[in-house]
Structure 1
């Protein structure tokens, strides 16, 4: 079923089992901020985010945990409705030039910061140029390279004055693009494009590190950040659309051990948990609190092509071919995931059909061929023995089970014994960013449903590409795809780029995600996008 390829909502009705899965919820269903029908029900929800958010800062966040909080406490020029479609947010109007390269946004005069001051065009200009400032070190700055002068400035080859970002006046914000971009509205829903209050950031460079100095403009505001324990956000009464916000308080608990947070859900200490222990998924599927939704992303193991033995492409290919993904998803992960033999997941519709179906698989498991490739790769390098290999993963019970299964498959099919190592999420991100690994787990979720955002991960100059792999032909084709106005030709270029990536294979895809949750039926109108964690803007407690 391909009905999920646009972000959708799933509504949880208090008196029934899961209904309207994959789009049954209606964006027209009304919610009310005055809780008139809720009586004395305390409008609070406690969810589990699992790990400490590394950076709740629009310029610095690169992970889904930080993004989950940011999406609730900030809002950009565009936001998303309950069906996941981009709609105007802080901007009340937009005018686009005839050639499609200049966007002029008119900001809402009632858009306020959580301290009650007005959100201005200057705040957007400051925030976006802060992302692009080389000194900021934003790993997501490349998402702004569509803007005139942005790439040169970010790479130290141009001036900030030449960047096509201008606050004309308090409520008029102008953006100049290098060329027309059909998905610009979807791109602007990414947290990297959220505003930052210039006064707060200039007064304190660590404004986003603690709750008491935090200023934001979304439906909720930061109330507490008890590091490594929880993050608490509360309804923002200065939010212009506050009447649709029912919840007064959202607590993100940071419990990483799957059995523990599962039990906390069962004892009603948590109202929403995700990534269930694999051994309970089968039994929980019949539970009315169980929710399973597609998630537009790829679970993979990166190879550091600058560290032996993964300096050799045949060795990388051998490892990828030695893992039985069908067995892994059916017997280990158990969450409905799809075995992956490419980078781009199912769900991106093109004129010829689903991008993944058109592109097909690039390899299959084959133990004999894998052994042959390994021997050839070792011979090319002059190795009589394969250098010792350590596979790293971030601390999680489920990641550990997957890593142990991969360890066993590689041993059985290649005769290679690999070691396992794990680190807490924030430390892990730093370690892999520095290239201190041979083979490491990673997941990449598209910020919107288009192959370009999946393939961008492996651009040679992408700070997110931690493999050390650089391919000029791949980069050139990706750049060409971003200015190609003919959609058929654009997708053709993206297929060419993926083929180059999968031939050289600086990573091995494992599976395409599917998220599973347990959500208390006391709540309705929790929204599930295919590329974000559950959105709680419209959620309401009914029991």
Structure 2
């Protein structure tokens, strides 16, 4: 009996040791907390003006659409261009014809098959003059695209054709070395022909929204929040860890900051300036480079900015270093050109190679202002209003610039602000004198920064048209020698900065706050964080 008792005690002891060192009991699991919800809330700051890939022109809409759509190519976690829906891609010997094989498991979020025809329809829909796409010019590389979009050709002339359900053939005007990267932007996303053809407002509500990316839209309370959830029909749905992302639309940076601090937000960007210094050094705070330019556009069709000397006077009267160090506080780089740092060329960084095109010079600014007014026959300068979209940081920059114009030029200007969607429409119709704008490269190449100012670009809201600039930009797009191509882009930028239809303020950075238990987000230099691979870990 003693032997049996000791054996029983030994077994119990061994069981206790194994329990402590090995697998968890039900009690162990409950004591470590329940499973972490794979849900996050991020601040988009404003209502996406359009969730239609053919119509969107802004970073907010693009950020959400990047989560719910995918094109022939996409990007990996490091930002490199990789195949998306294109399972295979072949290029002809002359480099003009690209033949893509669509993945066999490509599906729409409603479970229906996604075919090559959806791409053909989508791209021709963008080019259709009746669609009114501001980004249609990005498709002008395709043979027949520009002619059709400008009403000088037919849709049949556009060299995009679905050869069968899985094969898409595209012929370009000339070889294009960055065509695969171009195809990552949202304008080239597919759309479901059956849906878009039958409902012009398909992209306005969650109930009618169909997409094909890692997430799908499931809710949209306008001007409040937009909800996306994991798309089980996505061909790599096993890579998607998050079940739900809620995009809040909180425009006031101070309010968003308070919500982050009270755990109502898991991510926010563009901190209020008075919070940046206090957050520096904190684990969840980050300042990241952003491939774009913050600027004030001049409407060259409205006085007093019909005069180039007056435009330059305003540009030379602003102390950008003071703005960066004392107002914005986020490490922005003062800008004296259009193309930001970050674009590599055979000779090095494009911006470093091109240098600055002007500098702050109060005496020269006063001289130019006087000369410009004399040329126009003005004894006093026409009243000037600077327009900006509603945002605390935009307001602070505008107020600082307002004071600099007063101190350095003796000019009093007025300030006005509008909500983002209204602001875009106001500037699109050229109903302004001077207005804030930011332009982010949809991919990292000087051509996309300079394309903004093409004479026939719907995004060019300045009214500025220069035939020589347009000619050089067009020729650069078919130039196969990369060194020559970048030389031409430098020439185009020089023409732009000589005519000065805008005044650059700084090259962007972004300030982020993200909860430290969110891992796996991809931070691209020209996009907001992409959450395809993100997951929430236990705190």
Which bracket does the TM-score occupy, shorter chain normalised?
Answer: over 0.9
- For the pair 1:208 / 2:165, whether they are aligned, the reply is no
SS across alignment from 1:208: helix
Q: Residue 437 of structure 2 aligns with which residue? A: 442
Distance 1:342 1:535 in 2: 29
- For the pair 1:243 / 2:238, whether they are aligned, the reply is yes
Where do 1:38-187 residues align within 5 Å? 40-187=35-182
SS across alignment from 1:295: strand
Distance 2:258 2:186 in 1: 32
- For the pair 1:524 / 2:519, whether they are aligned, the reply is yes
SS across alignment from 2:88: strand
Q: Residue 336 of structure 1 aligns with which residue? A: 331
Distance 2:169 2:34 in 1: 46
Distance 1:530 1:91 in 2: 24
Deviations 1:32-52 (A, max 9, x none): xxxxx9961100010000001
Distance 1:291 1:534 in 2: 12
Please say if residues 38 and 541 of structure 1, whose CA atoms lie closer than 8 Å, have aligned partners that are also in contact. Answer: no
Distance 1:198 1:393 in 2: 37
Q: Residue 366 of structure 1 aligns with which residue? A: 361
Distance 2:355 2:129 in 1: 39
- For the pair 1:222 / 2:209, whether they are aligned, the reply is no
Q: CA deviation at 1:202?
A: 1.4
Corresponding residue to 2:509 among 509, 514, 536: 514
Aligned-residue CA RMSD (Å): 0.9
Distance 2:508 2:77 in 1: 21
Q: Residue 8 of structure 1 aligns with which residue? A: none
Q: CA deviation at 1:204?
A: 1.1
Distance 2:475 2:143 in 1: 16
SS across alignment from 1:326: helix
Distance 1:182 1:320 in 2: 35
Distance 1:95 1:477 in 2: 30
The answer for unaligned runs of 5 or more in structure 2 is 1-31
SS across alignment from 2:424: helix
Q: CA deviation at 1:291?
A: 1.4
Higher helix share: 2
Distance 1:318 1:38 in 2: 63
Distance 1:328 1:64, change over 3 A: same
Corresponding residue to 2:491 among 478, 493, 496: 496
Distance 1:454 1:504 in 2: 16
Q: CA deviation at 1:209?
A: 0.4
Query: For the pair shown, which has the larger CA radius of gyration, 1 or 2?
Result: 2
Runs of 4+ in 1 over 3 A off after TM superposition: none
Q: Residue 11 of structure 1 aligns with which residue? A: none
Q: Residue 12 of structure 2 aligns with which residue? A: none
Give aligned pairs, total.
507
- For the pair 1:306 / 2:301, whether they are aligned, the reply is yes
TM score, norm. by length of structure 2 = 0.93
Q: Residue 427 of structure 1 aligns with which residue? A: 422
Distance 1:243 1:417 in 2: 59
